[in-house]
Amino acid sequence: MNDTKRQLDWPNILFLALSPLVAVGGTLWYELTFGFHWSDLLIFFIFYILTAGMGISAGYHRHFAHRSYECHWALELFYLVCGAASFQNSALRWSRDHRIHHQHIDQDEDPYNIQKGVFHAHMGWIFYKSDKDDDFSSVPDLAKNKWVVWQDRYYLPIAIGFGFVLPTLIGWAFGRPLAGLLWGGFVRTVVVHHLTFFINSLAHKVGKRPFTEAFSARDSWWLAFLTYGEGYHNFHHRFASDYRNGYRWYHWDPTKWWVNLMRWTGAVGRITHYRKEQLLRARIETEFERVRRQMAVTPTRFQDRLEKRLQAARNAVEAAAARWEKAKLRYQDMKQSAAEGSQKAREFWKLRIREYRFQLEASQAKWALLIMVVERLSHHRPSV
């Protein structure tokens, strides 16, 4: 729908325009007048973690929008209160918009379609009322959740109470109630807003696309540091139901560590976790399609031979990955077996895991070498 024909949402416009003015101007005036105290930053970071990390990333995004894990109702309630304080709408409506984004990414139906410009994706889309504001057909599960419905009904009082009143009270405990409101309320809200909005804008413009090039979402390690681990956006759009965004153990993703901690305590039950074999297959498929396009500019005499070698190398990697995953699963079965004589079987499959991993690494090295050859040949233009 053309934005010129849509009705402006003035409450959203005014809040997004005035809150930065209060955050910057009010805080600057307060600090110059009354001085700085360490409790100001403490309140800011506490409420930043509660709203950006707990409320939006762990709650709104990975639990409610994608159902990537199940959790106890008390943890759900905690997410709903923290999420409301981020001032990004109720979980029901936030999740509705986000699911539509995934269903229609880069298309007209996408609420924050990057094809309409970076500003539109970042925050411009919030300036207009949606014609789907009362349509919850994409979130039927959430529309039946009593806690989600409760939060949607009382969203504004919860948001103001937890997002503005509570930090003011904490600031009052330090003798600085206005500092609590400014740092824990306005400054934190503005920072959380725009760091979250970066996922809709920058994460569709900056970074790499290792898992699929079918849409604009990209992986950016530095953006992950700014967004509580949400920067691995290409991975997320390819494997949306995975509870992780940082798919490698060392990737900065505090939310996945939080979910693992809650799983250890028993507050989190089922989680969705894609296997390494599935991730590897997606990467190989993406690289294969990319180099096939590049081969169109290589000398004709090389094209058929290269494609056959690439296909053979791809098959070898996928077969090695399948053997490795199968061996690991078999070993886990053996470990859980209490049958007599199972020790020898476990040792057998343990050796097989090492062997198949070596084969996988060798096949991946051959694949990487072929990719490098094709990319170099793609820069060579046959003379006329």
Mean pLDDT confidence for 147-172: 97
Please name which of 117, 132, 311 lies closest in space to residue 216, comparing C-alpha atoms.
117
**Are 56 and 86 contacting, i.e. CB atoms less than 8 angstroms apart?**
yes
Question: SS3 of 217, please?
Answer: coil
Mean pLDDT confidence for 292-305: 70
**Are 195 and 213 contacting, i.e. CB atoms less than 8 angstroms apart?**
no
Q: What is the pLDDT of residue 360?
A: 85
Q: What is the pLDDT of residue 383?
A: 44
Ordered by start, the domain boundaries in the chain are 3-271, 276-377
Whether the predicted pLDDT of 368 surpasses 90: no
Poorest-pLDDT segment among 2-16, 263-277, 294-308: 294-308
Q: What is the pLDDT of residue 352?
A: 82
Percent of the chain with pLDDT over 90: 68
Per-state percent for the chain, helix, strand, coil, to nearest 5: 70, 5, 25
Whether the predicted pLDDT of 376 surpasses 90: no
Per-residue model confidence as pLDDT tens digits over 95-124: 999 999 999 999 999 999 999 999 999 999
Highest mean pLDDT among 216-220, 302-306, 331-335: 216-220
pLDDT category, 26, cuts 50, 70, 90?
very high
Average pLDDT, the chain: 90
Q: What is the pLDDT of residue 384?
A: 37
Q: What is the pLDDT of residue 379?
A: 63
pTM for the model stands at 0.88
Element (H, E) at 70: strand 69-71
Per-residue model confidence as pLDDT tens digits over 210-246: 999 999 999 999 999 999 999 999 999 999 999 999 9
Query: For residues 273 and 284, what is the distance between their CA atoms, to the nearest angstrom?
Result: 19
Mean pLDDT confidence for 63-87: 97
Q: What is the pLDDT of residue 338?
A: 58
**234, two tokens:** 């290409």
- How do beta strands 69-71 and 268-271 pair? antiparallel
Whether the predicted pLDDT of 346 surpasses 90: no
Mean pLDDT confidence for 153-176: 97
